[in-house]
Every structure is written in C-alpha cells, then in structure tokens.
Structure 1
Amino acid sequence: MRDMQKVLERWGCWAASDSSGVDYSHIAAGFKGLLPQSSSNRLSCTDDDGLIIESCMTRLQKKKPYEHSLLVAHYIYRVSKRGMAKARKKDEKIIRIEMQMAEGFIDGCLSMIDVRLEME
C-alpha cells in the first residue's frame, strides 16, 4: 500500500520546481492571495516518477476537475486544508473527504498502470 500523501508531497515539489516542465497557474488553483511563501527544503521525486504521477493527475483533471484543483492547491502551492475550506466556504471535514477521494483516484490510477515508483 502506497503512502499517497508522501507520494503527492514529493510530486508537488517536483511540479512546483522550474525544471519540471509542468506549469500550474497560481490563479487557476482558485486560491489567489492564500499561497504561502515557497521553501526549498521539500523532498522531490525523480522526473520519471513526476511524469507518471502527472499523467494520473491529468486523468483526474478530466474526470473531476474540482478534486484536481484541491490536490494542486495543497500539494503544489501548500494551501492548508483549513485555508481551502475557508476560501470555498465549506467545512474542513468535507475538504478532507474530497481530498481523500482524489488521493484514492491517483492511487487507483497508479495501481491500474502497474508501475513501481522509484521513491517507493
């Protein structure tokens, strides 16, 4: 069983870096003004792992764009779950459940393509 939060945390660092080749707009995340300062002490994944996870994120975006935006905001831009709940005027418990569903989608996607990530 994968620790999806660890996997997505490393993917988020990789996607946020300038060298990943992946671009996420700050405004598209829907949290303009809530984004904390970035720090460079985060662990990143390899380019191969990053691209594999990115392909799963693309599938999530096509099927459930709202859940995709939650993962992007939290794992790339480091917006807290509490901050997302406040910005979206929702209960934090609901945000946590929606994020768990999105993380489960990514986990299922990785299981379907039957790939072993280098970070595991």
Structure 2
Amino acid sequence: MKYNLKSVRAYLLKEDFDGFWQYTSAYHAGNYLDRWCNRTMRSKIEPMKKVAKTIRNHRDLILNWFKAKKAYSSGIIEGLNTKVKLTVRKSYGFKSYKCTEIALYHSLGKLPEPKLTHRFY
C-alpha cells in the first residue's frame, strides 16, 4: 500500500465496487455508483476509466436490477442462448430449416423423442 502502485489502486477500486451490490434502493445505489465512477475517473488508470465510462453509459440499465428487486438475472437467458447456438451448430448440414426448427424444439423444450420401430442394442 505504501508504494501507491497503480495495480494496488485498481484492485482497491474493484473491491470497493462490490459494495454497490449490497444496496436495496435504486436511488442509493445510483448515488454510490456516481461517486465510484467519479473516484475512478480521477484515478488516472486508463483501463479503470474505460470501465467507469461504460458503467456511466449503462447506468439506467444497471439500476433496473434494483428496481426489479434483484429478482431477475440474465443467466437464464445466456444459458438458453448458448443452447440455441450449440443446437444450430449441431444441425449444420440439415436439408431444410424445418429440421433445424424441430431440433431446437427438442433441445429447448425437452420434447419426447419419437419411438423408433427398431431397437438398437
């Protein structure tokens, strides 16, 4: 700490940002976010300043998480998106779009597979 290294200051700013997620009110979280961005912009650490600019540009969208009472996460959407991309990649070479569509229905909806007339052992 006594050396005042940029890496130490950047680490402290990153750790200080964790306090942002402890708020329950969008108003107070917004004030905290504004103060953190101001401190980060004055830090003269270019990568951190870039992060602060991005956060400022998306401030309202970030604060929507507090307005929704922290009930929604984009993790579910990201998981579905990954599953869609994987299924489309696997369906490369299908003769029609309809086959890809059916593959998507089966992978995303976990629809039952049709019974085969033959059993393979």
Do they fold alike, i.e. is TM over 0.5?
no
Structure whose alpha-carbon radius of gyration is higher: 2
Normalized against structure 2, the TM-score is what? 0.25
Q: Which has the higher helix share?
A: 2
